[in-house]
Structure 1
Amino acid sequence: MKTENYESSLMQVGGEPEILFALYQMGDCRLTDVMGKRGECGVDVDWSQDNRKIDVHKLINQFSEAFFAVDKDWNFTFLNKLACELLGRHCSDLIGKSIWTEFHEALGSAFDDEYHRAVEERKTVEFEEYYRPLKKWFHVRAFPGDEGLYVYFEDVSVKKVMESEIKRSHQLLSQAQVIANIGIWEWDVVNDEITWSDGAIRIGQHPQPTGSSHYFLNNFVHPEDRHLVLAAMQSALAGQPCDVEYRFLRPNGDTRVVHSQGMLLVDDGGSPVRMIGIAKDVTQRKKVEVQLRESEERYRTLVENSLNVIAVVDGIKWIYINKAGMKMFGAEHLDEITGRPVADFLHPDYRVMCKEQTRLVLVEQRLLHLTEIKWLTLQQQLVETEVIAVPLSYQGKSVVQLIIRDTSDRRQAQQLVMQSEKLSAVGQLAAGVAHEIRNPLTSLKGFLQVLRSDYEGAKLEYFDIMERELSRIELISGEMLMLAKPQAVTYEERKVQFLLQGVLALLETQAHLKSVEIVTEYYSNPLIRCVETAMKQVFVNLIKNAIEAMPHGGKLTIRIKESHQKALIQIEDEGCGIPEDILGKLGQPFITTKGEGTGLGLMVTQKIVKDHRGTIDFTSQVGVGTIVNVTIPGSEDVIKVSSAGA
């Protein structure tokens, strides 16, 4: 059909040829329902006489989209029923009225701009805009005509809300990935293509969002971890959970530790289709775990090698104790202590107090500072300590950590200081006394020699005795000076038996008078380096004390042994014994079991033994007797020690 014939035909349709002709030019297939237009709709136009007389109003009101037309003055010339419904107005109220007057809120909006652009540029426009008074989003298609503007529009508010929600969901998901430091990945198993989300790309810092599994393994997985990732992928394809931790290589050479989990999706036949999962950057967590392990190892090392006892108790039993604790309690194996009641190791006098203090720590979470507590070892030996109790959480339970300091050495040191102070005082006293004694002794010895010349015969032996005793007094006063002022001495090699024989010869008479039998057991005759007079003084003091401890007689046994290049001299009596409270204080001035004793003799004895790098200890039982053990280094050992000291 020719155009002029077609246009003349339209001029006769319903009196509204412009609208119909404009719709036809737009290729609107809805016209084919009544006209059968060929082209896009694929139907030949049937321009029979019946079809030329079309009710345009009825036709356009059948459209699923709203439609209106305005003239060149922007006055409404036509609105279909749906348009009036969407605009919330009656069609009769709008016909002949200006669109900008009736909907003045549209001025300055995209409606204003796009409608004018369509008219001015003579081109179709399409856009979406929100009209606030109606609170609706509209999708609009407008096209110009010779008589004005023709507009299709539809309410897309629901679609916009859905798009907004989808966009918001994507934003929330993206933010969640950033906050959780995770990314999402998807593996198209059929096409072997892995796609990474923005979060995953951020973790890996690589710009490429897709790639094959081979590309991923060879470019982003650490060579030493590729077998782990490959095994996880193969396991997932077999229906097992995908869970793997590996090192991710960034393009800049940095390495991140990634924990990846995924699940497999299959088709109706059970064949793998795709796998989806998440990847989490756990680098910081791994660093913290390493630091925590190192910290725990350092703490464990400190605890295990601490000189103080560190233990954990649950209020009743031992849970843990370090090496120092095992040593203090005399245990060789940990199970000798752990699992046993704490009360088994407490001195009975401290059990009630410790139970209450433990309750305070556990219930009130209170820190208890230094507390003096006495313990009993596995060998039932008493140990004095200071204890700090700290509330602690151990394996999810409230427990008490004990820090125990053995104060035995400190108390011994304090006793040594006190003894040193006493020695200093006694030494100063002894120096004064010795000085006052030695001056008269010189006079006495001089006059004794003068008197000796006037006597003859048997009476001369009395002079010999007096002279020997005066010499002994002089010797003792000289030894008293040793307490205040060190003397220059000469060490010589002497056999122990030789030293003891000289002493026994001197004390045999006293022993006989006391009905004391002296028995010697010489198992060896070690050679020692000593100051002869000083060492004899040691033996005199000890043997004389043993004789005096047996006022009603008894047996005195003297043994000589040799062990580990040391001479052991043992003196055992059957005397009255020494009480336990005095035994530990022997060697201190004024500590003695004798009624008129001063304790200075034993004090001098200990000093001499110490000067010879030896030891002396006492074992005694009241009513049974006392054993004194004196250990002196052998001659060769003393030479080595002296050389090392030089």
Structure 2
Amino acid sequence: MEMEQQVKILAVDDRYENLLALNSILASSSYDVISLQSGEECLRYLLKEPADHIAVILMDVQMPGLSGFETVELIKQRKAYQDIPIIFLTALSTSIEHVLRGYHVGSIDYLFKPVHPKMLRMKVDGFVNMHLNHQKLKIQSELLHKRTLDLEETNRKLAEAEEKLIQQNVLLEQWVEERTTELVDAHQKLMNSQEHFKKMFILSPSLMSIRRLPDLTYLEVNESWKQYTGYGNEIIGTNLDLLSPESDGNINLCDILHNEKVKYVTKSGEVRTALLSTEIIDIEHDKCLLEVAVDVTESLRFESEMARLAQLNLVGEMAAGIAHEIRNPMTTIRGFLQLFRENDRHMQREYIPIMLEELDRANDIITEYLSLAKNKTSYQKSESLNRIIESLLPLIQAEAVMCGKHVNGNLGSCPDIQLDDKEIRQLILNMCMNGLEAMSVGGTLCIETYQDDTHVVLLIADEGTGISAEHLEKLGRPFFTTKDEGTGLGLAICYSIATRHQATIEVNSSSKGTTFMIRFPMQAV
């Protein structure tokens, strides 16, 4: 077997000492770190190195000649290298414009020097593992394609044989009708049916077994069953229960007949998962159990890994949002503290209120973020949704008048439901203020309540320009906002409040405006 090519990590930096530091941080037997000192040298290396050997590229932004941004733009022009993850490393500029440009040209991350060694190592190890998993999946896909072609060829031959057999059966049936009795004809058809079943049983890619009832002794297993479990003919005549349901260990015939997902242990000790279907059949006047199982172990592993990566990505996005929002007030406070150290004390009276405002702003962001918690205590009691809206309408109307807009309230008859007064007020105000901000002068915000069969519905509709399909997908995600000064937590908090009230939020948006429908259950689950 040909030895696999070791994975490579490209480190591109014009400073030799930085390359030494990266080599020291990323030293591993699992991959090679290739040091390159310019964008041109990186491009030359990529011309002779296959893309599937490279797991990730660490790219310095500021370099003589081609900059990191220009180098990445050239790399991404080649289709073979478009999927290589690129992490920018820079010690010069932390502005959001440079960060956005990095993501725009095709990077997957943007780190500021000095980089935390452990964090960089974990990120690189993560991309290497993703690269190795991708290579494994590629190999498995090729094998699966080959097996599919083999199966198609087998099916073609089987179809030809079946066609010939059908033709023979037609001739045989004609001969039987002319020369034999109905009993001989019925017997011949039964034999043909058993022959078809035997072929399907042997050639099926699914795990298949036949067991005698009621003792569940194995009578026959097919080749796929032997291949997956590792057990051969030695299991015939035994009642070893391999395809056991996920239960407390007390297995009976009823469990087997009604269970779909099962665990089984191979001869080598590996635990695998399969989807099982069963049927009671007659073989030579004896009742038997036919088991057909499809192995889904690899599919479940792939789904689990994809879910884990999605969770890691969400954690990263939220962490970046928190850091960005908290950094601004902290920067202001740090600047004033430096002024205090360098100037006279009389400056305190002028700047301390500003510093306190910035601290309050940071505290408000943290408080709003904590409001997203699913396990936050919610003090719910029987309340009238209309009463809460009526108490807020003067405030909402005053805000609308100040910006030249209108509010239309249409509150229908609704029963009291379980609500947290404070949280519902926050939800209504957040959504109404968002609606007012989305409209131009003269627009009307509609607030409506009504009752359907099982829910009390709160409808809030504006006459703004609507929300794009791209933004609708991200609606309610923490720290996502289209406002210049927003924190991106308002709608996220609304969704969190709705969840704690077992309510759902439906959004309909077009160029004529956006409608939010919050559906509260009349009886809490």
Asked which structure has the greater CA Rg, the reply is 1
Same fold (TM over 0.5): no
Answer 1 or 2: which has greater helix percent: 2
- Report the TM-score range of the alignment, normalised by the length of the smaller protein: 0.3 to 0.5
Answer 1 or 2: which has greater strand percent: 1
TM-score normalized by the length of structure 1: 0.30
Higher relative contact order by CA 8 Å / sep ≥ 6: 1 or 2?
2
TM-score normalized by the length of structure 2: 0.36
